[in-house]
Structure 1
Amino acid sequence: MSDLQYLVRKPKKTIENPPLLILLHGYGSNEQDLFSFAEELPDDFLIVSAQAPHSLGFNSYAWFAINFDEINGKFSDLKQAKESLDMIALFIDEIKEKYKTDPDKTFLLGFSQGAILSYSLSFFYPNKVQNVIALSGYINDELLPESISKEIKTNYYSSHGTVDQVLPIEWARKSKPFLDNLGFNSTYSEYPVGHGVAPQNFFSFKKWIEERL
């Protein structure tokens, strides 16, 4: 059992095997955050918003710790990140089984830390999800398998704010060349915002999702 807490929005119409959208929030947030998108997304979806396992207090959670020291500056707890990655992979399988979702239409949407893990999960667990929406994140070189399968068919949508002061735009800009180099299908866009999702960004990824349903 993955033991992750989560919120569910069931499809608004009766569908035997609905497409699945999993939401992964960012550092210091909780499962309520991205769930605010749910009502605006396609009625067919079973939407599940997962809460990260590590409590930071005051209803804030993280998928992995971000530590600070005088020598290394800011750095990620990669052991925790990999543990969360495995937990999310198991969680996806459990949700698919429990709700009998369409195995060929699994979408994984992550923001910030959730986006970092969404990328990594698609590489460590090839084709477990068919579509990744990575908002305000980047591909962390330290969270990659030794070799990335050439059989991955996952589609990627990435976006970032040009004035993001949390995760620099330069980090995000490396994602599309990285994915293109592997021959993967990817879309990348930028918006004149900070570490957040602009309205036009929301409508952009909503359209991208609808085209793949």
Structure 2
Amino acid sequence: MTTLSLVHAVRPPEAGANVDGVKPPLLILMHGVGSNEHAMAQLAPAFDPRFVVVSVRSPLTLGLNAFGWFHVSFTAAGPVIVAEEAEAGWTLLAQFIDEAVSAYDVDPTRVFLAGFSQGGIMALATLLTAPEKVAGAVMMSGRLLPEVLPHTAAGDALRDKPALIVHGTGDEKLDIHLARWAREQLAQFPLALTYRELPMAHAITEDSLAVATTWLASSLDAAHSTAHSRTQP
């Protein structure tokens, strides 16, 4: 395993999945708070075989084999976070993207992020704050941090960037109103947003994973077509 700023596990692309001479795309997976990279690494085989899939461990140690991007308390008024840790987290993730692009020799124009819960929060935050590094992002059972909004990139930098929100109507940890609020807030940006509600709790289910993998494959096809068109005379 290559030593980068975040501990991670790697699933290489399937042999022959990518055209010879074309650098493969990269998918970075991020786990929820209190978990670790192995939780997402076990899902890596479900994703498009063209991807180099990198499952990262969050930087903060919360307990034995338990990690997070920022500390959070769940109160009656909603989640309360350590904002400085969150900002440091999305800054670190943007840095890690550059490291992984170099280490695994992937296409820097086809880097996708996907995460569950706090991992999804960071995927969306990084898309909004460093869109030049991210081709698209998936947030599964996460939320849009209000603390991110003052740091979002200028409008044109986000134009047509694909983003997917998948959330359970029965989510007991992050209520569905948080996903709906995120959808409302993101409407002010020129993103290509896809929003899906599913009858599930705070979890990754077979159905929600299928939504994410299908969306990523479609977004990857679109990114490949765009890149290919730019190379034509």
1:36 matched residue in structure 2: 42
For the Cα contact (< 8 Å) 2:162–2:219, is it kept in 1? no
> Does the C-alpha gap of structure 1 residues 183 and 27 become closer, same or farther in structure 2, counting only changes over 3 Å?
same
Unmatched segments (≥5 aa) in structure 1: none
1:184 matched residue in structure 2: 191
Deviations 1:17-45 (A, max 9, x none): 11000011110000001111111211111
In structure 2, distance between residues paired with 1:67 and 1:2: 29
Displacement after TM superposition at 1:80 (Å): 0.9
Unmatched segments (≥5 aa) in structure 2: 221-233
In structure 2, distance between residues paired with 1:56 and 1:45: 30
Letter in 1 for 2:168: G
2:6 matched residue in structure 1: 4
Displacement after TM superposition at 1:124 (Å): 1.5
Of 114, 126, 146, the residue aligned with 2:131 is 126
Letter in 2 for 1:116: I
In structure 2, distance between residues paired with 1:36 and 1:129: 23
> Does the C-alpha gap of structure 1 residues 211 and 69 become closer, same or farther in structure 2, counting only changes over 3 Å?
closer
In structure 2, distance between residues paired with 1:146 and 1:81: 12
Letter in 2 for 1:117: M
In structure 2, the residue corresponding to 1:29 is in which secondary structure? coil
For the Cα contact (< 8 Å) 1:2–1:88, is it kept in 2? no
1:23 matched residue in structure 2: 29
For the Cα contact (< 8 Å) 2:129–2:151, is it kept in 1? no
Could you state the TM-score of these two structures normalised by the residue count of structure 2? 0.84
Letter in 1 for 2:106: T
1:210 matched residue in structure 2: 217
Letter in 2 for 1:187: T
1:162 matched residue in structure 2: 169
1:173 is aligned to 2:175 = no
Deviations 1:70-115 (A, max 9, x none): 9x88510111111111111111100001111112211100111111
For the Cα contact (< 8 Å) 2:109–2:133, is it kept in 1? no
In structure 2, the residue corresponding to 1:95 is in which secondary structure? helix
Query: What is the number of residues matched between the two proteins?
Result: 212
Of 199, 203, 206, the residue aligned with 1:199 is 206
Displacement after TM superposition at 1:177 (Å): 2.5
In structure 1, the residue corresponding to 2:123 is in which secondary structure? helix
Displacement after TM superposition at 1:132 (Å): 0.3
Displacement after TM superposition at 1:11 (Å): 0.9
> Does the C-alpha gap of structure 1 residues 164 and 10 become closer, same or farther in structure 2, counting only changes over 3 Å?
same
2:71 matched residue in structure 1: 65
1:48 matched residue in structure 2: 54
In structure 1, distance between residues paired with 2:46 and 2:196: 21
In structure 1, the residue corresponding to 2:143 is in which secondary structure? coil
In structure 1, distance between residues paired with 2:177 and 2:47: 30
1:144 matched residue in structure 2: 149
Displacement after TM superposition at 1:2 (Å): 6.0
